[in-house]
Structure 1
Amino acid sequence: MLHIIPKFLNVPLNSSRNMSKFCANLAFLFPDKPLKERYQLAKNAGFKAVETGFPFGLEMQEVVAAKNTAGIEQILINIYTGDVSKGELGFAAIPGKEKEFKNSLEKTIEYAKALGVRKIHIMSGKVDENKNAHDILYESNLRYAAKMLEKENLIGLIEPINKYSIPNYYMNSYDKAVSVIEKINSPHLKLMLDIFHLQLIKGNITHTIHELKNHIGHVQIAQAPDRHEPTTEGEINYKYVLEILQREGYKDWIGLEYKPLKDTEEGLKWIQDLGYSL
């Protein structure tokens, strides 16, 4: 006899029998150690994959060696953003910086290929006032990027970032992000959905995940408003959110882009507490 199991009797989505796809964000985790050491620390903690910002101050060969020695996969890298000490956070929406944008993209693609990375976070930069010229240039630069990334079989990600974390960041709206993604209409341009930023920009997490699911290329998580471990005190119920992501069909990596409240390794207990494992 064929037995059909009702949906409400299925194994819970956060069952420990389901392996997670959490990757360590090395710009945030293990903050007391140099970047080169964080690859091995992530591996020792049980991670199978990592993501990073652009590795400023390190030669490409140094980063590749650290990753390969640790024997860990790298999922994502941020684009070269320029001089952070001068407030530069990318060039995609900055008039007069078209050459810098193209150079930063080429430089990051070189690093991505060497590291085996398939996702590049394309940062827009900060603007004093959002004008039509910024919108036009941003779309033009992303069209250029999509064509470059298609040649290399890479995916570009754009991420709305909340005004509290980075005031005056150009890409701070999900409506704007979706609009430009749909205009360009390339499989090589997707949305970075950071649930922390989502909560601080607009909330409405359940419906927004559903509405954006066809555009999502990567997910990151942290508690709001203080950006610590997902189960620390705050506004977001991550047991619920992670189940929603699975129900909506997201099966790719989830970046842990949070500031450890204390020790990184000790703070990782939240993963097991929610029924997951590395």
Structure 2
Amino acid sequence: MSSRGPTVTMKFASNLSFMFGESPKITERYQLAKQAGFKAVETGFPLGFTAQEVADARSKAGVKQVLINIFTGDVTKGEMGFAAIPGKEDEFKKSVALTIEYAKALDCKKIHVMSGKVESPNEINDSTYESNMRFAIEKFQAEDIVALIEPINSITMPNYYMNSFEKGLEIVKKINSPHLRLMLDLFHLQHARGNITRTIKEYLPYLGHVQVAQVPDRHEPDTAGELNYRYVFSLLEKEGYKDYIGLEYRPKAGSAEGLKWIKNFGYTL
């Protein structure tokens, strides 16, 4: 039996870059998410589709877009954003402008700004990153969009610049803008440092978004793994997190079939 009060609820958003791969087109996954019961979605940057095509797909499905990743560059070349890469400032500025175009078309108010990969980060990368983030925040503020920093663990993504939750929080505190928040992906947090309970409590005032997946296989929260998500969700509720939780996991079987955990955990879409 759930001990939660009757007015408390969790808001879940399907990550269409990970879920509903039953369709190869991200534009078709909006409808699949809607059919499965989702009211909200998030995505990586929808490479290969125009802003209008993606906006039409979202509108037709009648779901809310809560988050989009910034244009990353050429992923086939390993590009994962430009924010921390000296000499790529022009590419970064273009990626900000392009992603704002998509975000506005989708009526999306949060953009995950990716840092890019750096083999041996130094002070130049640090200053480049901070300067680029300040530029992005200024542009986002004019559109009432919040920039998100997501630390990504170096085990599953080697050489990613923003691989430290401590560093991510430090930047958020230093820039100190209501248009910059930290994204807490529990999958990356467990790989990077663990200490889930204390981190949630300490970081909550600075959070703009939460994502979940089981560790280490990145499947549904109820699959076998290192994290007790019944406890994690109850902790987020207890600490007062009321924003969306992005389901950035790879369904172990079918996307819709795998959603049984939501009801089993006592939640609804």
| TM norm structure 1 | 0.94
1:242 is paired with a residue whose SS is: helix
- Distance in 2 separating the partners of 1:88 and 1:170: 12
Q: CA deviation at 1:36?
A: 1.1
Q: Which residue of 2 aligns with 1:134?
A: 125
**What is the one-letter code of the residue matched to 2:18?**
F
Q: Partner residue of 1:257?
A: 248
Equivalent residue number for residue 197 of structure 2:
206
Alpha-carbon deviations, 1:149-184, whole Å to 9, x = none? 111111000000011211000000011001111111
1:19 CA displacement: 3.7
Report the AA paired with residue 220 of structure 1.
Answer: Q
Q: SS of 2:210's equivalent?
A: strand
Partner SS for 1:214: helix
**Cα distance per residue 1:168-206 (max 9 Å; x no partner):** 000000110011111111000000100111001000000
State which of 175, 178, 199 in structure 1 corresponds to 2:169: 178
Partner of 2:19: 29
Give the unaligned 5+ runs of structure 1: 1-10
Q: CA deviation at 1:32?
A: 2.6
Letter in 2 for 1:27: S
Distance 2:5 2:248 in 1: 23
Q: Match of 1:102, SS?
A: helix
**Pair 36,13 (structure 1): closer, same or farther in 2 beyond 3 Å:** farther
Alignment CA distance shift 1:17-1:247 (3 Å): closer
- Give the match's secondary structure for 1:50: strand
Three-state SS of the structure 1 residue aligned to 2:148 is strand
Shift of 1:14: 4.7
Pick the structure with greater CA Rg: 1
Q: Does 1:232 align with 2:223?
A: yes
1: distance between equivalents of 2:196 and 2:139? 32
Q: How does 1:8-157 map to 2 (within 5 A)?
A: 12=2, 14=4, 18-33=8-23, 34-157=25-148
Task: Please give the secondary structure, in 1, of the residue aligned with 2:41.
Answer: strand
Pair 237,15 (structure 1): closer, same or farther in 2 beyond 3 Å: farther
Q: Report how far residue 241 of structure 1 moved.
A: 0.3
User: CA RMSD, aligned part only?
Assistant: 1.3
CA contact (8 A) 1:16 1:275 kept: no
Q: Note the C-alpha offset of 1:105.
A: 0.5
The gaps in structure 2 that reach 5 residues or longer are none
Counterpart CA distance in 2 for 1:47 and 1:17 is 19
| Contact residue 11 and residue 244 of structure 2 kept, 8 A | yes
Q: Quickly say closer, same or farther: Cα 1:253–1:13, change in 2 above 3 A.
A: farther
SS for the counterpart of 1:268 is: helix
| CA distance 1:18–1:277, change in 2 (3 Å) | farther
Distance in 2 (alpha carbons) for counterparts of 1:131 and 1:218: 28
- Measured after TM superposition, the shift of residue 12 of structure 1 is 4.6
| CA displacement at 1:17 relative to structure 2 | 6.5
Structure 1 residue identity aligned to 2:123 = N
Q: How far apart in 1 are the matches of 2:2 and 2:126?
A: 43
Residue 189 of structure 1 corresponds to which residue in structure 2?
Answer: 180
Q: Percent identity?
A: 58
Maintained 8 Å contact 1:15/1:276: no
User: TM-score scaled to structure 2, two decimals?
Assistant: 0.97
2:8, 2:237 within 8 Å by CA — same for their partners in 1? Answer: no
CA–CA separation in structure 1 for the residues paired with 2:126 and 2:184: 20
